[in-house]
Structure 1
Amino acid sequence: MGGWPVVEGELWDGSNFDWLETLFKFRKHGYSHDILLDLSVTPDYRNNSHHIVDLDQPVLGMPDRSYLIKGLNDSGVAAYYRLMVDSAVLLGATREAAEEQMLESLNFEITLANFSLPREERRNISKLYNKMNITEIYKLAPSVNWREFFNKLLVDPIPDSEPVIVDVPEFVKKFDDLITTIDKRVLANYMLWRVVLQSFAMLSKSWRELVQDYNTVITGKTRESPRWEKCMGTLTGSLGVALASLYVRNHFKEESKESSLEMVNYIHKEFLKILDEVDWMDDKTRERAKEKAGTIQPYIGYPDELLNVDKVADIYENLTLTSNDYFQNVQNLRVWSTDYAFGQLRKPNKKGDWKKHARAAVVNAYYNSLENSIEFPAGILQGAFYEKDRPNYLNYGAIGFVIGHEITHGFDDRGRQFDKDGNNVNWWEPETDFKFRSKAKCIIEQYGNYTVPENGLQINGINTQGENIADNGGLKEAYRAYRSWVKDHGPERYLPGLKYTPEQLFWISAANVWCGKYRPEVLKLRILSGSHSPSQFRVIGTFSNLPEFSESFNCPVDSPMNPQKRCSVW
């Protein structure tokens, strides 16, 4: 990589340093090329049958820019700085040189963080959709050799006329000025620091202990995760399709798929009824909304191709792994996955492609705006979320809540910016658009006024609004769907030994899936960088907005869970 100046000392020759050439070396050896500018290939939001090049602000070394802009006054930033210094010393730098030069590198990263668009301002997709070609990008930022930048990082060379989405033109402009004035040593020190940061997990215990001290401050975890857990985490992230193939062949209960699909159908019907009932929509927007809701495609469990070992093996055709070189395996995987993603540029974006739905061994669920699809991987159809032999009030409260949540994502503040075909098109009449915003504002203010007792931080109502809208709509739909199911199939029996009614157990089951215990540091991390409200507010906020909950438990009027003022979008 040309050496880390802080370690090389006087031996480092800055005359040969070129940040672009160094970036190309990173790409070649499996390190991130996204540390100064983020380059990716993505489906075109406005014509999603094609892929397009995307240029964005960088991925920073800390979990979120909100840490860095506080500077060294923040305990997390101070720990990050210590990690930079200690890493340089471990590689042979003097502590004095490390402290001085790593402070310069940290300040450079803080500048990048300040130039970056905050998360709150990235929710409007149209604001991030600035299509330019290479010639126009040169006018925006003339100091960077953009032809080289794109052609040496991407798999296929592109002409000057190639369209590129520039998410944050203002960042690119400021970066252009910065890169011409920054001292080469400071820039090289920062870039090589990011190589070290990406290497910790593959190195020996002394290195992992260093990063553990930093992780303790950020997450509160005082010791490394057990080896099996780290190995599973690595596999899930990097060889997720192969892992899913093993999981579904050996552990997935096939009958879960059928009964989950029945629940999806009941919940989906309730959402369509809600669209008919809401009084703030005009008829034209309502029809488009129903059309979009009607074309949502569900993916449950896993695609059948996962059972075909040859098809799974084809995905990894160009990947080389050996049984005795963990470090190189990880680097090979990184190069391969970047090549794979960049290799999509000239290929059509096929909706429903099984490979996009193949990471089935995860406990998660998704709404995909570009496909207008909902996905419930095999991994979530178990445990607290779902069990075929349980009464339906428990399943509708748990996985039903999640199903409703994902359907509603298509109509939250971000999902609603896409039409039924998954393109970024405004299908809202102006008056209804205004009413949606005022409904969403109620949710923003409600959750933004919650303070987390463990650390005194307030929830960010803007960043969490999409998930909060999805929670509120999703739980309402699931409850209504369960009531419809009972009408069709008759009431279910109580659970023996408990005084709760089936309706009350629905709510208890829904609350139970968010039951958890978090360290204060993790809560801080989730509040600063997460898109979800902390778990207790996903329950308290959502349940208090639904009169049906108060009815089930006879909550007194004006009590915390039965307030006079409620927020509701769907």
Structure 2
Amino acid sequence: MTDSSLLETRSQLPNTGFRFMTPAKLLGSLVGIFVISTIVFSTLYGVEKTRKITTTVERALPFTTTTNDVCLTPYCVKAANYLLESIDETVEPCEDFFHFSCGTWIKNTRIPDDVSAQSNFNLLRTQLDYNVVDLLSSPPANDANEPKAVVNARRFYNSCIDDTEIETNGVNTILLLVNTEFGGWPILQGSSWDNSTFDLPDLLFQLRKYYSNIIYRVDTAVNEENSTVHNIEVGQSNLALGQKQYYASETNVTIAYRQLIRELANALGNDTSMIDQDVNDIFEFEKNIAKYHWTNDEQRARFNETVRTTVGNLSFTFNTTFDFTDYVRRCYLLGNVTLQDTDIVAVSEVEYLNNISLILKQASPRTIQNYIVWRFIMGATSLMSQQIRNIRQRFDRIFHGTNAERPRDVECGSLTNAYMGFAVSKLYIKKYFDENALNESIEMINNIQNTFLEMLNESTWMDAESKVKAIEKAKTMNQHIGYPDYLGSDNNTKLENDYAEYNFNSSYIRNALKILEINVKKSFQLLRKPVDKNGWGDYSAPSVVNAFYEPSKNQISFPAGILQTPFFNKDAPKYLNYGGIGVIIGHEITHGFDDTGRQFDKDGNRIPWWTDETIKKFNERKTCIINQYSNYTVTQINMKGDGNLTQGEDIADNGGLREAFFAYQKWAANNKNVDNRLPGLQKYSSEQLFFINYAKSWCIKMTNAHALNRLRTDVHSLGPTRVIAPTSNFDQFDRAFGCTPGQGNSRKDKCIVW
């Protein structure tokens, strides 16, 4: 969770603002009588449009299609429809597989005003968001005795949609907190602010009560050298604009950022005498901090500079006038944890910490106080009145490319799900998760995991010693699928214990602040608790559209929320499932062996366990990936990707595609004549449809601001690259579509790690 957690949930859980219909209504809408009759007519009589790529595609088909080869079940008709509405056959797949697979969808898709991009993931998240709204807003069944955790999730949601209460109390509650606990926000007080009471450690401590890691980060994490216990982490915090590149030169973003501070100060205060000067000082202060801020790829590359010490020796570890020892001790008292001198501390970004200490020493108390409180105010805008949220929206329009707030009920449903995900999931899995899908998804995961084991065994660049250990790690990888068992049980003890402190009333802002305080307390209390290797992480609740690999647990998780169309459906032909969720499964497995995951052994300890020779060979292959991805241009904004930043996800994308494809081939060989073609798409082989559905997963249309923001800050490559790069490295893609290496979507020198 980020510092501005109440704010950032919005960007983490993008939403389209489009209300999904129920599956039955959606099916009826998508495949009406006209569509069905047209497809069936095309199936029976071979009526097809003449397309540019017909020769290429048909050349790859292994046999002639008959009506007996076509799947006409309701799901197959639905799947055919969404693929037909996506493919652009005027584009040659061997030249640009992304626009071949997504071109028509892109032309016909509009980006809703309340998001900065539209994609399959966003659409599925939107569907889930509206499902959550329906669950939380609908009264429980007459005979239902709901767990207290669920009752409080409903209370939190209801307080969040209470606009009247927010308009009445939101601003005043925040300002009262700022003035009574934080020492005021000088920009609102003009020259009357008294700097004689300024106390930096106390200010940071008071803000840390509400999950605000500002300037410095103090948290609990799994001890990377002994994954059975936790340790303390100290390092840099984040920047308001995410990455330091935004501060390097004057742009429309930096102008809008300063305007955001100015407008919020004007709206919240009456004394405007020093606002302009304060705004400039705040920005220049953060700009100086940004010079020393480590980017994501720098953190990845410089991990070995992390210093491991103890609480007792912390003050001797790096050169700073800030008393970290006292600050860390005070922070952990928020969780009623008294630190011992022998408690382990992992200190990262030491160079940043030293330089920021000098910046703080040279800055005025007014500037520091203004900046730190500003970061809290920026994160709290979503808690306040519509006027304040409108000011924030004007900034988001520039930074993210969004033109409107999400509907309030959707925003509140997402927040409730983010903070009380397992309580929400108690309702979600009962109504929306198909239990029959569990066995099939488990079978797919096992098939893909076995395929990866075969790929490891056949690897020619790993020496025997490293290979044996890698195979052992892959075999012991823990699986979480759907939801934890206790959520499906009538025994609610664990759920109630986990949310015992979540007792809410009608005040949204007080409920939100209480959640932040609870999360801080729980985070610090983890230090004295053993690592639950089999537990579901706090942010991998079943009611999310995502998948995870946790290196410290050597664990893959596939929550119920992602086990849905178009990624997975129990009635879908297997080539669609393997090309959808199958690639995601392979992606998460491969994370255990990407540039970061490969540093953790089978028990989740970050220790050397490969030979130097194998590491050297891995780095050579990794470098090929980095160079390849750094040479792709995002034409929309005419900027190249950063292969160093995205290398882990890129390695996982390439490995996941290969593992899922080979697993499907093996399944198809053992289950002949089971998978039929799709109506209207029968000129495509099942292997071609595997790749088409894979590409469909990453169709995206985005604003320029979104593309720029993602390119600078996201460890994932953008959608077009996630389609083109892995397929261009895969000779089985060339074979399926009859591509010649050297064409736009087929590399001659393919980059292969796994």
Q: TM-score range by the shorter chain?
A: over 0.9
Alignment counterpart, residue 241 of structure 2, candidates 42, 58, 62? 62
Residue 299 of structure 2 corresponds to residue 115 of structure 1: no
Partner residue of 2:214? Answer: 35
Distance in 2 between residues matched to 1:501 and 1:299, nearest whole Å:
32
Pairing partner for 2:447 from 251, 261, 266 = 266
Residues 98-177 of structure 1 correspond to what in structure 2 (within 5 A)? 98-124=275-301, 126-127=303-304, 129-139=306-316, 140-154=318-332, 155=335, 156-177=337-358
Q: Which runs of 4+ in 1 moved over 6 A?
A: none
Q: Do 1:6 and 1:101's aligned partners in 2 also have CA atoms closer than 8 Å?
A: yes
Tell me by how many angstroms 1:124 deviates: 4.4
Kindly tell me: are residues 563 and 168 of structure 1, through their superposed partners in 2, closer, same or farther at Cα, counting changes over 3 Å? Answer: closer
Deviations 1:33-86 (A, max 9, x none): 311200100110110111101001012212223223x24x12222211111111
1:433 corresponds in structure 2 to 615
**Is the deviation greater in 352-361 or in 367-376?**
352-361
Q: Structure 2 CA distance, aligned partners of 1:268 and 1:222? A: 43
What pairs with 1:403-552 in structure 2 (closer than 5 Å)? 403-491=585-673, 492-498=675-681, 499-552=683-736
**Equivalent-residue separation in structure 2 for 1:178 and 1:497 (angstroms):** 65
1:302 Cα deviation (Å)?
Answer: 0.5
Mapped to 2, the partners of 1:264 and 1:346 lie a distance apart of 34
Structure 1: stretches of 5+ with no match in the other structure: none
One-letter identity of the residue aligned with 2:440: S
| TM superposition shift of 1:17 | 0.9
In 2, Cα distance between equivalents of 1:55 and 1:482: 45
Q: Tell me: CA distance 1:529–1:432, structure 2 relative to 1, closer, same or farther (3 Å).
A: same
**Contact 1:303 1:357 survives alignment (8 Å):** no
Greater CA drift, 357-366 or 76-85: 357-366
Shift in Å, 1:356: 5.0
Question: Quick check: 1:565 aligned with 2:749?
Answer: yes
1:521 Cα deviation from its structure 2 partner: 0.8
Whole-angstrom distance in 2 between the partners of 1:4 and 1:14 = 11
Q: Mapping of 1:193-342 within 5 angstroms?
A: 193-307=374-488, 308-322=491-505, 324-342=506-524
Distance 2:314 2:524 in 1: 20
Match of 1:364 among 525, 543, 546: 546
TM-score (norm 1): 0.96
The 2-side partners of 1:128 and 1:341 are apart by 25
Count of aligned residue pairs for this structure pair: 565
Q: What secondary structure, in the 3-state scheme, does the structure 2 residue paired with 1:123 have?
A: helix
What's 1:11 paired with?
Answer: 192
* CA–CA separation in structure 2 for the residues paired with 1:430 and 1:64: 33
For each residue in 1:163-209, what CA deviation from the matched residue of structure 2 results, as whole angstroms up to 9, or x when unmatched? 21101221222222222222101101101111211210011111000
**One-letter code aligned to 1:321:** F
Deviates more, 1:112-121 or 1:52-61: 112-121
Partners in 2 of 1:377 and 1:390 — Cα distance? 19
1:106 positional shift:
1.2
1:125 touches 1:424 (CA, 8 Å); kept in 2? no
In the TM superposition, residue 352 of structure 1 has moved relative to its aligned partner by 0.3
1:333 Cα deviation from its structure 2 partner = 0.3
Displacement of 1:309 in angstroms is: 3.1
Ranked by relative contact order (alpha carbons within 8 Å, sequence separation 6 or more), the top structure is: 2
- Residue identity in the other structure for 1:134: V
1:308-365 superposed Cα distances (whole Å, 9 cap, x missing partner): 433212111123311x211111100000011111111111112002465860101100
Question: Structure 1 residues 383, 125: CA separation in 2 closer, same or farther (over 3 Å shift)?
Answer: farther
Q: CA deviation at 1:552?
A: 0.7
Cα deviation for residue 95 of structure 1 reads 4.9
> How far 1:428 sits from its partner (Å)?
1.5
SS at match of 1:473: helix
User: Does the CA contact (< 8 Å) of 1:303 and 1:358 recur in 2?
Assistant: no
Range with bigger deviation, 280-289 or 486-495: 486-495
State the structure with more CA Rg. Answer: 2
Pick which of 274-283 and 400-409 moved more: 274-283
In 1, Cα distance between the equivalents of 2:401 and 2:536?
38
C-alpha displacement of 1:557? 4.0
Instruction: Give the residue type in structure 2 aligned to 1:463.
Output: L
Counterpart-to-counterpart distance in 1, 2:540 and 2:621 = 36
- DSSP 3-state at the match of 2:643: coil
> AA paired with 2:368?
L
Aligned to 1:475, what secondary structure does the other structure show? helix
Decide which moves more: 489-498 or 122-131: 122-131
2: distance between equivalents of 1:207 and 1:118?
31
In structure 2, C-alpha distance between the alignment counterparts of 1:146 and 1:444, rounded to whole Å = 37
Pairwise CA distance, 1:389? 0.4
Q: What is the TM-score normalised by the length of structure 2?
A: 0.73
Partner of 2:563: 381
Separation of aligned partners in 2, 1:284 and 1:292: 13
Map Cα deviations across residues 446-492 of structure 1 (whole Å, 9 max, x no partner): 11001101101111110111111111111011010001001212132
CA distance in 2, matches of 1:111, 1:163: 31
Distance 2:251 2:271 in 1: 25
Deviations, residues 412-462 of structure 1 (Å, cap 9, x unaligned): 111101001010011121111111111011111111001101101111110
Structure 2, unmatched stretches of 5+, are: 1-181
Kindly tell me: are residues 466 and 369 of structure 1, through their superposed partners in 2, closer, same or farther at Cα, counting changes over 3 Å? same
Aligned partner letter, 1:80: Y
Shift of 1:517: 1.2
Task: Quote the Cα distance in structure 2 between the aligned partners of 1:428 and 1:49.
Answer: 21
Q: Which moved more, 1:212-221 or 1:106-115?
A: 106-115
| Residues 105/34 of structure 1: CA separation in 2 closer, same or farther (3 Å cut) | same
